[in-house]
Amino acid sequence: MIFISKELTPQELVNRLDKFIIGQSKAKKSVSVAIRNRYRRQKLDDNFKDEVIPKNILMIGPTGVGKTEIARRLAKLIKAPFVKIEATKFTEVGYVGRNVESMVKDLVSEAIRMVEEEKLVEVSEQAKRQAENRIVDLLVSENTNTKSNHKPDNPFEALLTQSNTQTSQEQLDEDKQENKKKQRRDIKSKLAQGLLEHEYVNVEIEEQSIPDGSNMGQEFEEMGINFQDLFGQFLPKKTKQKRVKVKDARKILGRQEAQKLIDNEQVTQEAVERAENYGIIFLDEFDKIAVSSGKQSGGQDVSREGVQRDILPIVEGSSVNTKYGRIKTDHIMFIGAGAFHDSKPSDLIPELQGRFPIRVKLESLTKQDFYRILTEPHNALLDQYKALLETEEVKVNFTEDAIEELASMAEQVNNETEDIGARRLHTLLEKLLEELSFYASDMRGQTVDINAKYVRERLEDIVEEKDVSRFIL
């Protein structure tokens, strides 16, 4: 099964990335080619296909320049399972922290979630119709119960009731069925008109007998056993009644009906195939597990090298036990990323270096890059802040010179303090608009023009004061 569209050529992938990420054309190009090779591999003969392994990528560059965003956006474009893992998680407890195989389990879980959501969308219309029918049944039942609980208020009504019981049972049944049909038609009509959205009905909600996050469940998962599947069939399903409005019942019942319509085995099969052939694992802070050359070896270095050796077989290709079965990692793509300020790629163990043949250096952002980030991308940063303040009926206009001043300050602070890339714009804008955001609710109907002078008045002193800017910006 081929998930990547043939229209998504490397050029098209780069063009789509350009809508969200400014600059870093080399990184975009390298990752796009690697993604396209996955499509090409699926077109090969089965005998040859298994021999073509993905070319893993090592992204080198300071934080905030777009490493994660490039990988995440590409994965979204091709509908590939994507997980971001911080390599330092594996060194947190003792010499080795979290089990490195957990990254593969996380990837498969994400693939299951993706495929299940797609299947739910496919059956959504049918599920919606079935949910509507269940709501009609619940409302009819509510009305029937209300009427059945009615007791005669006087002797004449009691005599009438007694007389009715002498009528033929067949006639009573026919009348009952006819009344029920009429009632259903009336309720269905009112539902379609949205007249019953705030009526209350009782719905059954299933409770989990075994918590997914239990220690016992995790231990079984380590052995590749699905604890829920193993014991769930022997334990009764617990349900509870919940009284909710019709508009909320529609969502609950719609989800329940959709779950009944999808084939869970097929979901698992497709998800495993997608994870194995298209999955992307993004290893952030990859430089933090490198052992810096020239430094005296210590406990921390032993831990880092141990993590590298644990990661190596996963990257090389192995089988990992999960609750969805054994997952082969041979064709999962790994993207390592880090600043590599205090270390370099050659400080990684040779075997791991060889598994990341594509090296891409991402450049620090310039004033021009910051200007474009503020103005060009879809849902650009300035547009976000404008939209937030417009909810208070306050209109904000940024002049050209104000945007240039912000871009210049972002570059200056990154050069003189820690380089945190595009995230610097968030800190500057939050400080710039802090007072305006505080009083916005009292400024309804006003328009605020932000120019270069406005920016300098609120930020210049902080930017120029090095000690202060380290704490505030």
Question: Known binding site: residues?
Answer: 22, 64-69, 284, 351, 423
Write the CA distances from 80 to 39, 54, 105, 245, 431, integer angstroms.
12, 14, 15, 37, 37
Q: What sign does the CA torsion over 398, 399, 403, 405 have?
A: negative
Output phi, psi for 20, to 5 deg. -120, -25
Q: Which long-range contacts (CB under 8 A, 24 or more apart) does 424-430 make?
A: 424/64, 424/370, 424/473, 425/370, 425/373, 425/374, 425/381, 426/381, 427/472, 427/473, 428/459, 428/473, 429/381, 429/382, 429/385
- Cβ-contact 35, 391 below 8 angstroms: no
Q: Residue written as tokens 């710039």?
A: 432
C-beta separation of 139 from 201 below 8 A:
yes
Gyration radius of the chain's alpha carbons: 31
What would the DSSP string read from start to end of 443-470? -TT-EEEE-HHHHHHHHHHHHH-HHHHH
Dmax (CA) of the chain: 104
List the Cα angle 231/237/238 in 5-degree steps.
130
Residue with tokens 């052995």, as numbered in its chain? 223
Query: CB of 8 within 8 A of CB of 77?
Result: yes
> Cα–Cα distance between 250 and 128 in angstroms, integer?
8
List, as residue ranges, the binding site for ATP: 22, 64-69, 284, 351, 423
Alpha-helical segments (H) within 123-233: 124-148, 155-164, 169-192, 215-222, 227-232
Give the Å distances, CA to CA, from 49 to 203, 254, 331: 50, 41, 10
CA dihedral for 154, 156, 162, 164, sign (positive or negative): negative
